[in-house]
Structure 1
């Protein structure tokens, strides 16, 4: 059973992973990694989407056209596709802690240099390099996968992913307030948005150092100390070397095997372990040969991809469609991202609960239901735009299902092929960014009729939902 406040934290004796979650615990290694993973991803979002809430001001200051703004949205997502694909094997090789720290510290540089931009080409190029920080999603999910067992990994991944994605909502609140504060101090609009960008850059840099100094990669500590083993189903081999273990008080014999890594004896009641091969580029090809990976990439494209596309346009859409101020539109736009405080976690929790009741079939059914409802309410949003109140209500509902779907997707990912979780996480994550690129393109095509763009996205999501029935997992 999923325990969100487990005391003491139950640990699987074989995998050494946590069988529960205690949100009030910050101890190493399990819950420290848990909290740093989501807060690192949230911090990354403050850098990745720092520009979006300030688009009305930036557009006017740089004399940008709507097409150029949409092109910059596309490039900020396109670069993330490349780096999310590469980051998976790097997590497998160097561990999530170093990978996360490196991404945050390096990406802080282009975020901080945003104030030097003077024209459209520079702005579009800058957003390409800022997009690198979006790859932090992969070590975020990989980290908790190393720390938590299969019984709670869906919930753990959903919590850290959702709370990290909440960074988009935080940014929609934070950046306009910083901008207004700088204006109140006497700076012009031209200077205020440029100085404001230094804040998220500094936060990203400090968070990167914190990951490196105050956390662990896995239950064993540093990635180099991990046991190079992953659990498989229990089975017996006739040629297995056996030894007789005599209990001082019992005259029974137990079939055992020797663990060469720690010179310990493993009971026949324990699962047999397998030593995976050293991470290589071949992991990509192995993962891509698995049709389940391709399907999950489509699924994540229609969940996180939708989230990325909406994050880029929602503030400006409310500003333009309802003639709201930049700050007020940002506050409403923030609702979409802030729903992640529980929505993505709910998707992961429901996935874990269904798994306990019906196995992997339960996970798949929950996922189908969530993604299909996601599509329905995206279409409904198109017809809710006659007044602000209705639009906000449907925005909140479709944001819940969009983000819950992200959680249900990554509740399935660890079961595809445990030997290459990092590579699969990277590819599925990249699928989300491909979806973001495609759906951002839809918003660009329908730039003069954004409500239609929401309806097109919703129809596409409903169609893809039926691919759930093509997934085959043991």
Structure 2
């Protein structure tokens, strides 16, 4: 094994260069995506917004990410990660600049909704990293990509308020946000110039049909249609939150219009699935080309519980700590950031454990820990010492983020040419989870909220029992019709 083939985190050549450029691209997407939360108060005062309008902007920030992750996954499989990541970073700098320059709620709302697109960047790197790393290093590499990139939200929270103060005045937040847009635009060129989709001489496998995910049996066809419904349900839930029953941004008529559009898009989506997969009703797919969609479905449910709960908990934890322990907002924010800090080690840790001990056993242990962690969080009240509550949050966070790492250690081992689409759907389920949990949080108290997440983790554990450990090889067809076998586990 040459030195360029070794897994050396301090190297910046070969596959390690691709890994570093990928996690940094993802890091920037998260800085841009979450540049609003730490500057929320300044934006509110500067634009004269109400609390309801601020909450609306927070909802809009994550809404578009659900369909965007699916769409970007498809585009990545078709056109390659290098082009799609570079375009995403460049295009998303535009709504970032628009938000920084906005002087009304409507402008800010449109820009924030469009910025949900940048949350889809994660999916692109999953496919890129899977092209460069062998199966026995894939979990660790994807974990570093996800964990270090995810840290962008914490980095934004720590640095942007300081940057805003440096520029001073009531427009300080505009400069801070503008700088994140410039970073995104500049790095799009760096990424495009320095990345290739595959190592030299390797083939980049594309799906036969770009319109919808391929399945290889009748049962999987129905399961795919069923698994698509929660994504539309989450978007309908967001529309409901913006209706007069929620925060009243839209009229009832507008919300019913949104429901009708979502139903129409689902029917169109289902027709595309039929178009791509109707052949499975006429003839059996040869054994060598089959894959089990239930593997994808299980990972969707697990990512709903892991990343979904992380997004929800990160946004409510500062308030939880300040209300439970009567801390100042600054102290509560710093204490709560311990949860996000765990990303740096936990997600790579989950991937590494997965490489070492197998995908399914690792996921079973981490999901059980996840359920236990949230059950303990549900017990936290003002009688607890603050330090113990922080330890409980960090312990829970370890299982959440290691679980995310372990999920995406398995995603690229299902069907290579569809990795972007599979990552897109699984990633979208994380956002579906966030929308669901945040809606639940607006209806119940904190301890019930944590118990409900623990309950969904138990449900995830049960679905995991149906998953099969990736084994053997994946067959992919080359342009000339010959077949290449790709290892997914130790022989």
The TM-score, its normalising length taken from structure 1, stands at 0.77
Deviation of residue 98 (structure 1)?
Answer: 1.2
**Structure 1 counterpart of 2:191:** 211
Residues 455-474 of structure 1: matches in 2 within 5 Å? 455-472=451-468, 473-474=470-471
Residues 340-355 of structure 1: matches in 2 within 5 Å? 340-355=343-358
Deviation of residue 214 (structure 1)?
Answer: 1.6
Are the counterparts in 2 of residues 56 and 316 from structure 1 also a CA contact under 8 Å?
no
Rate the CA distance shift 1:467–1:415 in 2: closer, same or farther, 3 A: same
CA distance in 2, matches of 1:282, 1:57: 43
CA distance in 2, matches of 1:205, 1:388: 42
**Structure 2 counterpart of 1:273:** none
1:123-145 superposed Cα distances (whole Å, 9 cap, x missing partner)? 44332111111100011111110
Secondary structure at the counterpart of residue 283 of structure 1: coil
- Counterpart of 1:333 (choices 301, 325, 336) is 336
Residues 199-278 of structure 1: matches in 2 within 5 Å? 199-220=179-200, 226-227=202-203, 278=208
CA distance in 1, matches of 2:202, 2:418: 15
1:72-111 superposed Cα distances (whole Å, 9 cap, x missing partner)? 3332222111110011121112211111111111111212
Asked if 1:433 is matched to 2:419, the reply is no
Asked if 1:281 is matched to 2:211, the reply is yes
1:373-418 superposed Cα distances (whole Å, 9 cap, x missing partner)? 1122123223324253233222211111111000110111122223
Are the counterparts in 2 of residues 306 and 436 from structure 1 also a CA contact under 8 Å?
yes
**Structure 1 counterpart of 2:10:** 24
1:136-182 superposed Cα distances (whole Å, 9 cap, x missing partner)? 00111111100011111111111111111111111121122223333
Rate the CA distance shift 1:458–1:72 in 2: closer, same or farther, 3 A: farther
CA distance in 2, matches of 1:39, 1:228: 23
- Counterpart of 2:4 (choices 5, 9, 24) is 9
Are the counterparts in 1 of residues 88 and 121 from structure 2 also a CA contact under 8 Å?
yes
Asked if 1:78 is matched to 2:8, the reply is no
Deviation of residue 324 (structure 1)?
Answer: 4.6
Asked if 1:370 is matched to 2:327, the reply is no
Deviation of residue 342 (structure 1)?
Answer: 0.7
Rate the CA distance shift 1:227–1:418 in 2: closer, same or farther, 3 A: closer
**Structure 2 counterpart of 1:443:** 441
**Structure 1 counterpart of 2:149:** 164
Query: For structure 1, which segment, 130-139 or 167-176, has the greater mean C-alpha deviation from structure 2 after superposition?
Result: 167-176
CA distance in 2, matches of 1:61, 1:323: 28
- Counterpart of 2:98 (choices 113, 118, 128) is 113
CA distance in 1, matches of 2:191, 2:347: 23
1:317-356 superposed Cα distances (whole Å, 9 cap, x missing partner)? 445555555544443333222211110011000001013x
- Kindly tell me the number of residue pairs found equivalent between the two proteins: 395
Are the counterparts in 1 of residues 207 and 418 from structure 2 also a CA contact under 8 Å?
no
CA distance in 2, matches of 1:316, 1:119: 27
Secondary structure at the counterpart of residue 445 of structure 1: coil
Structure 1: which 5+ residue stretches go unaligned?
A: 1-5, 11-19, 230-275, 356-362
1:416-470 superposed Cα distances (whole Å, 9 cap, x missing partner)? 2233222111111111121122122223334xx3443233223222222221001
**Structure 2 counterpart of 1:44:** 29
Rate the CA distance shift 1:314–1:321 in 2: closer, same or farther, 3 A: same
**Structure 2 counterpart of 1:129:** 114
Deviation of residue 120 (structure 1)?
Answer: 4.4
Q: Report the structure number with the largest CA radius of gyration.
A: 1
Are the counterparts in 1 of residues 78 and 207 from structure 2 also a CA contact under 8 Å?
no
Are the counterparts in 2 of residues 372 and 465 from structure 1 also a CA contact under 8 Å?
yes
Secondary structure at the counterpart of residue 303 of structure 1: helix
**Structure 1 counterpart of 2:307:** 304
CA distance in 1, matches of 2:416, 2:120: 21
Rate the CA distance shift 1:194–1:105 in 2: closer, same or farther, 3 A: same
CA distance in 2, matches of 1:174, 1:315: 17
Rate the CA distance shift 1:156–1:420 in 2: closer, same or farther, 3 A: same
CA distance in 2, matches of 1:60, 1:457: 34
CA distance in 2, matches of 1:53, 1:371: 31
Aligned CA-pair RMSD:
2.5
Structure 2: which 5+ residue stretches go unaligned?
A: 226-292, 472-491
Rate the CA distance shift 1:202–1:152 in 2: closer, same or farther, 3 A: same
Rate the CA distance shift 1:38–1:277 in 2: closer, same or farther, 3 A: closer
**Structure 2 counterpart of 1:239:** none
Rate the CA distance shift 1:291–1:418 in 2: closer, same or farther, 3 A: same
CA distance in 2, matches of 1:320, 1:178: 28
Rate the CA distance shift 1:338–1:326 in 2: closer, same or farther, 3 A: same
Are the counterparts in 2 of residues 52 and 315 from structure 1 also a CA contact under 8 Å?
no
CA distance in 1, matches of 2:214, 2:34: 29
CA distance in 1, matches of 2:455, 2:54: 25
Are the counterparts in 2 of residues 74 and 440 from structure 1 also a CA contact under 8 Å?
no
The TM-score, its normalising length taken from structure 2, stands at 0.74
CA distance in 2, matches of 1:53, 1:318: 17
Rate the CA distance shift 1:210–1:320 in 2: closer, same or farther, 3 A: farther
